[in-house]
Amino acid sequence: MSSLNTSSPAAPQGPTAKRSMTEDFKGDKDTLIPFEKVDQLLTAKGSLLETEVRFIHGRLTTVWKQLPKSVRDLWLLSSITNASKPFIVAEGETHTYGDVAKRAHLTATWLSRHFNIQKGDRVAIVGRNHVEFVISFLAVHLLGAVPALANAFLPGQAIYDCIRDVGCKAALFDVERFRRLRDAETNFIEKLFGPAGPDCVDDFDCVPGAHGGLSGVAVFPRAFAGILPEKEREWAGGRGGKKVFDAHELDRKYQSVAQGAGAIPKIDIEPEDLASVLYTSGTTGKPKGVAATQRQFLSAGPNSGYSLARAYVRRGMAPPTPRPDDEQSSTIFMIPLFHSTGIQSGLVPSMGRGTKICLMPKYDLDKAAALIQEHKIQVALGIGFMIRELMLSKHHLPSLQGVSHGGSSSAKELPEESRAKIPSMLVGQGYGSTEVNGAAAGLASDDYRLRPTSAGKAPPTNDIRIIDPDTLLEVSNGQSGEIWIRGPNVALGYWGKKKATDEAFTRDGYFRTGDLGRKEDDGFIYIMDRSKHIIIRGGENISGTEVETAIYSERRIIDCAAVPIPDDRFGETVGVVCVPRAEYQKENRPTVEDVLAVARKLLPKHEVPDFVWIRDEPLERNANGKVDKAIVKKAARKKHAELKLANTKGKL
């Protein structure tokens, strides 16, 4: 979850200082202004981060008072205010806020007129990071409909399941996704038009046969290499089927209609109306659709921005508030827009403040650096390992002022590595999940450097508790347990999955994350592990995260994952898969003994890995940037078995 890509953090009437936030901080935790005082200043009456208590879904909830009513309202205001400013930079093209507004209005026109999309209807959007993704997302919101953002990197069957799971009425694809579904062993495009599965109402009970399949599919002729010429669009002109349309043909057909009055219906959207369906990463099972209201979705902005605002006030400084004559802010997105970090903590808050956004359809270190240099990008948003690669690279990035990461833990060395590359660098991270619509905790600047292993501290709107998973009682500070989160950002639940919703979301509003962690007296959270990723060696629970943190102390290692290896004596032992930094993959390459040396120095004896595999291939990750432990574990166990067999043969 992003911590630096904020939605205009407030500048309260509080203390200020002459020194700059970018100056090196020489003090300690006690030198900074206490958190309680900071929160009072930031949430004071009249602040953009002012809070209030409202009665929502049957319980009192602390909310952000100045939050827009809807994504639609936020977009309409920003598109007018920033019409001439660059908005989306992608694939060599620059699109202003005004350009995107016109195209989103046109797309909304044919979604309404051609597909009969109305308020509350779900519309699937599946594609890589490109301007059409943004246009589609905004067009759906203009109609008060609900974008369902499926993972673009899933196989055809899984994408099909996601679309049918929430009863989508239409689907918008890029070329790659359309062909993947059409060319699978089962033609999933045809299946999408068949009778739908269960449709689900607000309480997430299932109502079989509520409506039929999709009313139509639109394909944006955007391939990975660019816009396809018309002769290469095999679906165009009705050739893809009666209900498959080329988006550019629809643009031409409805161009004049869109320019007329009443092209799209006037609607009123309330904060408790649905805003999105995003899907869980699927690291521990089949992706589930997470339904969120406008308030829950939009709370990601101030939630993710709060840690940076707090860092300023902790130094006795007012957070920066954008002014009309300021230089336009700019951010590079190295993560997918269908990820909660990308869309909720990134795109929507950024557009709210008129930011120029540089989209990458696929992460590549050298291309990211080149884009930062070309467009003088100020903030980089990505997964921890991406940010670390940037900071450890030889690329000169003088325009970069801040980096922010979420979605996965990173090495504790990242704050210092960032400042070693650019001394004025602001570094932040956030902790959260799809179910809490972005960040529920974060830390930035001094707090991050002073607590580099922490996942952050909750903003005033969130309540984070550590619960004993057996007794369901809250544990004392410093003790470990399951992390539970409550706040205005916590989602309604899983679409159409009442049992799963009841298991993960409590009646009093907490989301059970499944993460194991602890909370210290100052309120900072420390993640110990996913409850399902604990390694149990001879009855001893070992945190894979703690093992990984120790291994990262070997500075030549850029990425690592701790996994359980089957063992006849202990049941499981600790295995680690390590990837060296690029410059150390040939010369001065870290050895197994090098890795074991740091492990023996920093870990208890029973946590020292019994198996170390050093490989050059990056660790497998899902589209949300998290290490796919299931795939890494399978590969590690296979490698371990091969080595064990080879050693056995050598002794015969």
The pLDDT assigned to 489 comes to 98
Element (H, E) at 102: helix 97-115
The residue among 169, 62, 184 whose CA lies nearest residue 116 is 169
Q: By the 8 A CB rule, do 14 and 43 touch?
A: no
The residue among 546, 604, 607 whose CA lies nearest residue 572 is 607
* Cβ within 8 Å of residue 396, ≥6 positions away: 373
What is d(CA 165, CA 196) in angstroms, rounded to the nearest whole number? 9
- What's 341-383 look like in SS3? HHHHHHHHHHHHCCCEEEECCCCCHHHHHHHHHHHCCCEEEEC
| Alpha-carbon separation of residue 403 from 84, 174, 205, 596 (angstroms) | 27, 29, 42, 31
Low-confidence ranges of the chain (pLDDT < 50): 1-19, 197-211, 650-652
In terms of C-beta distances under 8 Å and separation of at least 24 residues, what long-range contacts does 95-100 make, across chains too?
A: 95/131, 97/351, 97/354, 100/131, 100/134, 100/135, 100/138
Q: By the 8 A CB rule, do 137 and 147 touch?
A: yes
The pLDDT assigned to 539 comes to 66
What is d(CA 159, CA 161) in angstroms, rounded to the nearest whole number? 5
Backbone φ and ψ of 560, nearest 5°? -155, 160
Q: Which tokens is 584 given?
A: 């150390």
The residue among 128, 180, 134 whose CA lies nearest residue 361 is 128
The pLDDT assigned to 240 comes to 82
- What's 301-351 look like in SS3? HHHHHHHHHHHHHHCCCCCCCCCCCCCCCEEEECCCCCCHHHHHHHHHHHH
What is d(CA 214, CA 211) in angstroms, rounded to the nearest whole number? 9
The pLDDT tens digits of the residues spanning 175-209 come to 999 999 998 888 999 999 987 544 444 444 433 33
- How is residue 590 annotated by DSSP? P
Q: Tell which phi-psi region holds residue 497, choosing left (phi > 0), alpha (psi between -120 and 50) or beta.
A: beta
Q: Compute and round to an integer the Cα radius of gyration of the chain.
A: 25
Dihedral of CA atoms 25, 440, 628, 224 in degrees, nearest 10, equals -90
* Alpha-carbon 142 to chain mean position: 23
Q: Which tokens is 209 given?
A: 């046969």
Domains of the chain: 41-68+290-530 (3.40.50.12780), 100-269 (3.40.50.980), 534-651 (3.30.300.30)
Q: Residue 484 forms beta bridges with which residues? A: 465, 512
The residue among 188, 169, 166, 164 whose CA lies nearest residue 241 is 188
What is d(CA 62, CA 56) in angstroms, rounded to the nearest whole number? 10
